[in-house]
Structure 1
Amino acid sequence: MSAPKILVIPGSHRASSINAQLGATIVRQLEKDGASATLVSLADYPMPIYDGDWEEENGAPEGAKKLAALMSEHQGVVFVCPEYNASITPLLKNTLDWLSRDVGCKPYAGRAFALASCSPGALGGIRGLSHMRDVFINVGADAIPAQLCVGPAGSAFDDDGNLTNERQISLLQNMSAKLIERAKQFS
């Protein structure tokens, strides 16, 4: 069986995003565990704020169609979720909403999903992940139970971008192994 392909999508595209940094860390772990992993930036998939009237007039934006097609080429997807006010960022929520529309394929079907977050706070963004799971239930995304929450972000990484906390490293390894195991079922 070939290595499953896993797409890693940070929910922030800020230049210094700690969630993009965590995304790169996740990619390294997935590859170490035998997956083929790809990190993308939502900046490369622009989408207007979801508006039913806009959609009726224009259809789905090209950014949503391209991201959906890319997701469909992978057996697993990790969303790395910043937390805004204990919930999902506007960028990430908008992306999730567009991907649930007619984008030429069904990006939530037939693949495994994992959730991770990173936050300056001690909880590591866990409150936002519960909201992600609520959205996933509604769109039919198969999210594994294992997840990763990293905080406080200021001391979470060494100079090479690796996690420093043994518990968080263990959670990363567990999430990676469980996602790869589940993604192989979609190969």
Structure 2
Amino acid sequence: MTRTSQESVALTDLIDRTVDVARQDTLRLGRVVDTFEQTGFAALIMIPSAAVVTPLSGIPLFSSLCGLTIALFSVQWLIGRDQVWLPQWLGRRSLAGSKVREAMTRLRPAAAWLDGHSHTRVRFLFHRPFRFLLPLSCALFGAFMPLLELVPFSSSLLGGAVCLIAFSRMTRDGLYALIAILPVGAVVWALYALVLSG
């Protein structure tokens, strides 16, 4: 895989490029990575997390696949890799291109709103020691998605949080990361405490 560069990219551009890539009958995850790896880990994480927010999350095991992908990319982002590693078995996972196009098209109005309402703020999140908080949060939220597989569409909450964190990193607008991390982090911690007490 080639080097990632963490380029700034508009969310609508990311969605439009995903729609273009999905014009083939079947879209493999490896093809998505090949297309977006040079835009950085945040952009790569945005694609599966956005997909989980859509009705695609109702497909059996789809949320688990996206969660594992998010966690894998987030860990690589966290440890500072400059190249993307994707297992062959995961790269071969595929979905009907028509379903991906429909899902991404539904997200475009929300993406346009986010693009129009973001600017540089809450910048401390992008500097030491806080800059590790974003990839760590994405890794944890992605890892929790398979656990929510039995509750249809529940993983969409975590997918939305990861979307906002990735968007925050791409635009350097830390406000969206705070909006995502604080409430969702509290819910995840409450669930974790509940499991321990049980």
The normalised TM-score by structure 2 is 0.30
Q: Which has the higher contact order (CA 8 A, sep 6+)?
A: 2
The normalised TM-score by structure 1 is 0.31
